[in-house]
Amino acid sequence: MASATASDLQAPPPQSAPQGLSTSASTQFPTVNIGTRNSALALVQANAVKQALKDANPGRTFEVKPVMVQGDRDKITPLQQLSQGENSKSLWTGELEGMLEKGDLDIIVHCLKDMPTHLPDNLQLGAILEREDPSDALIISPRLPKETTLATLPQGATIGTSSVRRAAQLRKLYPHLKFADLRGNVGTRLGKLDAEDSQYSAIILATAGLNRIGFANRISQKLTSSTGGMLHAVGQGALAIETRKDDTSMLDMLSKIRCERTTRACGAERALLRTLEGGCSVPIGVETTWRGGKGLAVGTQPAKDYDKHGAAVEASEPDLDDQELVLKTLVVSVDGTEFVEHEAARKVRSAEEADDFGREVAAALVEKGAGKILEKIKIDKAWGAKKQLEAMGVAPGTA
């Protein structure tokens, strides 16, 4: 995962129309190639971005180019092992970024939570789009009563998840539950849950992905700080578009579809993560909301008011600069026995201020003891990787 810095999200310079070209001649521009992972959900997301770009940039053509990335090729190895060392930086993005740098792709559509902590020097986040529901979701086995929740799962019930963050938080809250690794796309995971001989009583997936791919009806319980006691991953629910820093034409197109609410909120989350030097396999949870406006969920625009005839009424919404961003955070040990929490709120009027806010919250967590928890996790992961290599007959440092 990456941190959104001010330089990541700087506004592109204004573009002038090429002299001598009419509006109709815009179709003569080359096709914009959109890179994405080769999965059903990734393709749905990439095509949604494609449509948004077409709507905002009429006359241009766009084509989605799916790529099988490293993290999708290995569906067996647990993510905690697969994301050791340098691999964690390119697990979901390495091949795509290489194609972007060479010019084979013009942009890449990412789930923001999957982006590495640091981007290549010549690449940047060109836009973050309006955020979907960032919560996690509990999906129960069809063999259990429909009203089952986390709190009512039977003693010793097994939850399927490949997320260290999710399992760590649940161990903290529900020590009577068991956990088993679960990899694969959304359909694969649901199939493993529904199988007659399934070991899983429930699984946990991102609400946003379920909504986007048409499986919202399978959600048994949304897990937030107030329902289920869960904080989501940094950037979860948001789509990010990566492009080359020198591609000013592309940056201009992307500026038309970016979401300022989501950009600022995720900027704070990602600055927090970068400062703590955490990755996708580290149990850091966040929850960001806006205070002072109508909209509560970050990136979700306020609901419209309607008159007695059902027509939408434009209601005044306080300016975003006048609202406060509330950032709840949690760092928890893998076994759930140690944890540090912190909550802060402040106005963030720019990407720079969001970045500063994230760093401030990270510093507060470290002061409370988060650094010790994360350092122990880092040491344990390194030791586990060393023992795994020894068991395979490979001397450490030679792999």
User: Is 257 a residue whose pLDDT tops 70?
Assistant: yes
Percent of the chain at pLDDT exceeding 70: 75
Distances (CA, A) of 204 to 74, 162, 211: 20, 9, 14
User: Which residues are bridge partners to 123 per DSSP?
Assistant: 244
Q: Which residue has the higher pLDDT, 93 or 218?
A: 218
Q: Which residue has the higher pLDDT, 86 or 368?
A: 368
Furthest-apart CA atoms within the chain: distance in Å: 74
Determine the pLDDT at residue 28: 79
pLDDT digits (tens, 9 = 90+) for 14-32: 444 344 333 334 457 899 9
Residue 254 contacts residue 245 (beta carbons within 8 Å): no
pLDDT digits (tens, 9 = 90+) for 263-321: 999 999 999 999 997 655 678 999 999 998 765 545 455 555 666 666 665 556 789 99
**DSSP letter for each residue of 70-127:** HHHH--SS-HHHHT-TTHHHHTTTHHHHHHHHHTS-SEEEEEGGGS-SS--TTEEEEE
Q: What would the two tokens of residue 75 be?
A: 């569906």
Nearest to 105 by CA among 161, 157, 154, 49: 49
Average pLDDT over residues 43-67: 96
Phi, psi of 162 (to 5 degrees): -100, 5
**DSSP letter for each residue of 161-221:** ---HHHHHHHHHH-TT-EEE---S-HHHHHHHHHSTT-S-SEEEEEHHHHHHHT-GGG-SE
Determine the pLDDT at residue 85: 46
**Pairing status of strand 32-37 against strand 62-67:** parallel
How wide is the angle at C-alpha 166 spanned by C-alphas 384 and 125, nearest 5°?
A: 90
Q: What share of the chain is helix, strand, coil (3-state, %, to 5)?
A: 35, 20, 45
Residue 255 contacts residue 11 (beta carbons within 8 Å): yes
Determine the pLDDT at residue 303: 56
pLDDT band at 389 (very low <50, low <70, confident <90, very high): very low
Buried b / exposed e along 278-299 (16+ C-beta atoms within 10 A): bbbbbbbbbbbbbeebebebbb
Determine the pLDDT at residue 378: 80
Catalytic site residues?
A: 114
> Average pLDDT, whole number, for the chain?
84
Phi, psi of 373 (to 5 degrees): -65, -45
Sign of the dihedral defined by the CA atoms of residues 76, 79, 83, 84, in that order: negative
Average pLDDT over residues 160-187: 93
**Pairing status of strand 284-291 against strand 305-306:** unpaired
Residue 237 contacts residue 207 (beta carbons within 8 Å): yes
User: Is 349 a residue whose pLDDT tops 70?
Assistant: yes
User: Is 84 a residue whose pLDDT tops 60?
Assistant: no
Residue 123 contacts residue 243 (beta carbons within 8 Å): yes
How wide is the angle at C-alpha 228 spanned by C-alphas 216 and 297, nearest 5°?
A: 60
